[in-house]
Structure 1
Amino acid sequence: MLSSATSPETASARLVLVPVGSTEQHGPHLPLETDTLIATAVARGLAERLGGTDSGVWVAPPVAYGSSGEHQSFPGTVSIGTEALRLVVVELVRSLRTWVPKVVLVNAHGGNLMALRAAVDQLVAEGHDVAWMACATEDVDLHAGRTETSLLLHLAPDLVRSELAEAGDCRPLGEILPALISGGVAAVSPNGVLGDPAGATADEGRAVLETMVADLAGRLTERLAEVAG
């Protein structure tokens, strides 16, 4: 991790991965740092597949506050909003790029997308080599359901309150999107869960993580090869 390195140790860095998460409600059973933990785990997995620090690949401390206004009705949520996150990302990358050739943002919260897209567009226009990649966990359910619960059972089982897990609104995103936009998550799910955590296991979480890392590693390797070519 970049935070535990000394300055001289980073002199040969060629790529820094920046996990981008959030601090927001994840139902009654998952911690507020769920997205941040997932983003960090994926970034670490990516770094390992790319050769780690021996190959000049570093993982930065995560951006733990994101754009989570849709969860603001729930206590514990801390959101800085889209514009503030955009500015944070722009300044972080500008600073990183003074000593590392490439930066990749590894995002695990859907609410951050607008900020990341705008920030990366601006930075690329300024001439920076930067990209963002998504840790998609919505294939099974949308928020704090089986997928994220399985991931946390693998990554941080002591933080999962399994006895409190309960289903929320299980309808597909297309059906609930208008209500989500107008009233946030609380408008469709009083407990903050979009999906059903029933059946979640640590083994499933390990498999999901491995799949995400492999997918992103393949895409990132292709991108790096294109740039090198």
Structure 2
Amino acid sequence: MSAYEFEWMRLTAEELRARAAEDAMVIIPVASMEQHGPHLATGVDIILGTAVAHETARRLAAAGQPVVVTPCVWTGLAEHHMAFGGTVTLEYESFAGVLRGIVRSASRHGFRKVMLLNGHGGNAEAVAVCAGECAIEFGIKVAGGTYWHVVPEVIGPLLDRQAGLMHACEAETSMIMHLRPDSVRTGRLAEAFGPMSTRIEGQPTGLAMRRSFKALSPSGVIGDARTATAEKGEALLAAIAGRMAEVLANPKLWA
């Protein structure tokens, strides 16, 4: 084991009981298995969500916050990607049931602080609702958020062609180039671009209305991945995890 092991699946039951007694935070990465354009493998959100959770946990542990990270919940709500193939989706009831079961298990073991760390846009509203439901049902503190919604201020300045993280885009492609370059089909990068928004003309940011990505973007990409680099991905991951750790370390959040 490393000097500080934070992966739930690499700890013993006794060690996890001790973490709960130390008031450790439980981070639950939540993702999706879905199409990511012609150039990225379908596991992008799983890879990135797990990496953000792990890097955030490393920073929390270094600051003295006990923490554990569960394995990633690898499937979520992705109906809007189904037309492309390569996608797995659940109904809300099934998805929320899985999240509630994991949080319930943690709470029964004595953990009192849980973060549902989401890495897929289609899960965003459901994760927020489920976090609130779990907090009420189990009487513990449960936060929920999509990482690029929680810390957008550190993402945009590192990008050349986008204001923030989108889908199979400059940001996601850069981070995958850094973490798992074998998941990038570099020969298809010239095709890896699409519209800069999932909203149609005249649709306000506050109006939710999901459409099939097939109707929005023939490539399946939202944004422009053609300027992605591994160096940019390394910087993005460090910035996201650093700021996320600062957010989660705020004692007022858990009071």
State the TM-score, normalized to the length of structure 2.
0.81
State the shift of 1:177 in Å.
8.7
Give yes or no for contact 2:195–2:216 (8 Å, CA) kept in 1.
Answer: no
Q: State how 1:36-185 maps to structure 2 within 5 Å.
A: 36-51=46-61, 55-99=65-109, 100-126=111-137, 127-136=139-148, 139-140=163-164, 142-165=166-189, 166-175=191-200, 181=209, 183-185=211-213
Give yes or no for contact 1:101–1:129 (8 Å, CA) kept in 2.
Answer: yes
The one of 243, 247, 250 equivalent to 1:215 is: 243
State the shift of 1:167 in Å.
3.2
**Greater shift after overlay, 34-43 or 83-92?**
83-92
Asked whether 1:227 is paired with 2:238, we answer no
Distance of 2:197 and 2:113 partners within structure 1: 37
Asked whether 1:189 is paired with 2:217, we answer yes
Secondary structure at the counterpart of residue 198 of structure 1: coil
Distance of 2:12 and 2:143 partners within structure 1: 25
State the shift of 1:183 in Å.
4.0
Secondary structure at the counterpart of residue 11 of structure 1: helix
Q: CA RMSD in A?
A: 2.2
1:32 aligns to what?
Answer: 42
AA at the equivalent of 1:102: K
Q: Deviations over 1:22-65 (max 9, x none)?
A: 0000011111110111111111111111116x853111000000
Distance of 2:173 and 2:201 partners within structure 1: 21
Identity, % of aligned positions: 35
1:4 aligns to what?
Answer: 10
Distance of 2:13 and 2:201 partners within structure 1: 48
State the TM-score, normalized to the length of structure 1.
0.90
State the shift of 1:170 in Å.
2.3
Asked whether 1:198 is paired with 2:226, we answer yes
Distance of 2:170 and 2:77 partners within structure 1: 23
State the shift of 1:147 in Å.
0.8
**Greater shift after overlay, 161-170 or 110-119?**
161-170
Mark the runs of 5 or more structure 2 residues left unpaired by the alignment: 1-6, 149-154, 156-161
Distance of 1:4 and 1:164 partners within structure 2: 37
**Greater shift after overlay, 40-49 or 78-87?**
78-87
Distance of 2:103 and 2:230 partners within structure 1: 34
Give yes or no for contact 1:68–1:81 (8 Å, CA) kept in 2.
Answer: no
State the shift of 1:200 in Å.
0.5
Inter-CA distance 177–190: structure 2 relative to 1 (3 Å threshold) = farther
State the shift of 1:169 in Å.
2.1
Distance of 1:177 and 1:151 partners within structure 2: 32
Distance of 1:48 and 1:182 partners within structure 2: 35
